Amino acid sequence: MQTLTRDTLLRMDAETAHGATIAALRLGLAPQQEHQDPPELATQLCGLDLANPVGMAAGFDKNAEVPRQLALMGFGMTEIGTVTPRPQSGNDKPRLFRIPAAEGVINRMGFNNEGHDAAFERLKGLRVPAALGVNIGANKDSDDFVADYVLGVSRFADLADYLTVNISSPNTPGLRNLQADEALRRLLGEVLSARAKAKTRVPVLLKIAPDLDEAGMDTIARVILATDLDGLIVSNTTIGRDAVAGMENAGETGGLSGKPLFTLSTQRLAQMRQRVGALPLIGVGGIHSPQTALAKFEAGANAIQLYSALVFGGLDLLDRIKRGLVSGVRAAGKTNISELVGTKVEEWASGRVE
């Protein structure tokens, strides 16, 4: 965006800068992709045909204001939300913090969004030339989190290309408890029952946290493999701070994303790949270069999503990553990015790759 450079945005308060970016995109100030994606990047994911496997992660376009603009920029998928049934203001400000020295971000937004109705009205009839994901969540004061997810499925199943059930944000008290055995069984049972009542069978993915231990990953794998869930997104933000200890803003509560999350989230991705066989996986967390994007595929991702790295890398990071993926495919003597998926799972899962 010529009038809103990365340096200008970094001089603003983090949440103000985010709002300014959304506003600029709504005004059409983002660069549009000029050429079709090369065939090396064509990807099939959960029955969806993607021009490329690089998506915008949830959290950027919370209220479905700019999914079409993001698609025109060149994202192969764009995931709006997290949206909750009722509007909610989220946690008190300030609630979004940069860690410049590590190119990290901490957020404790708390699912601030305008609710199902507002997102539905914006998306209804909108043509998005990429896969449109809707990330659904629960209101903080809800008596029944599961019921909120069911409402999300019922509302958006016939409008989205895929749905993401987000139970991994650290900023809604009790939400991550839904990753436990019985709670997850009930959640997926009711969500997938609601999906079955929709006109179209929309793919449903589950977004999990990177802070799971081996037993937690075992539980999730066991539960989801007994269902017809379509895939996993690995991972959300971490509550860990080892990678940024002592740095500016590192003591803020919330979820840490960006470059410091890369190693942990990629190891968890590989470990989940070992547990779920061929189930589609989207790798998220810490991608900040073509090399780290390629590593996600090698660790087992079928597609990837970005967000925090764009704060520091600028919007042209998307193009650089896509060009880097094509170069990686060609350098390996392959014809498509899918041929690199999982080629270093063992190394990443065991922590032998940095």
Catalytic residue numbers? 169
Residue 108 to residue 9: CA distance in whole angstroms:
20
Residues 6+ apart with CB under 8 A from 108: 91, 95, 96, 170, 171, 252, 253, 254, 255
The burial class, CB within 10 Å (0-12 / 13-18 / 19+), for 5 is exposed
Of 299, 235, 294, 282, give the one whose Cα is nearest residue 261: 235
CB 51 within 8 A of CB 345: no
Backbone angles phi, psi at 283, to 5 degrees: -95, 125
Integer Rg of the chain from CA: 19
Amino acid in the structure at residue 271: Q
Place of tokens 């065939």: 39
Residue 98 to residue 101: CA distance in whole angstroms:
9
Residue 103 to residue 287: CA distance in whole angstroms:
11
- In the chain, the largest separation of any two C-alpha atoms, in whole Å, equals 54
Residues 6+ apart with CB under 8 A from 287: 262, 293, 296, 304, 305, 306, 309, 321
Paired residues of 284 in beta bridges: 305
Residue 100 to residue 120: CA distance in whole angstroms:
36
- What does each C-alpha distance from 111 to 9, 114, 291, 349 come to in angstroms? 23, 10, 31, 31
Degrees, nearest 5: CA angle 316-320-321: 115
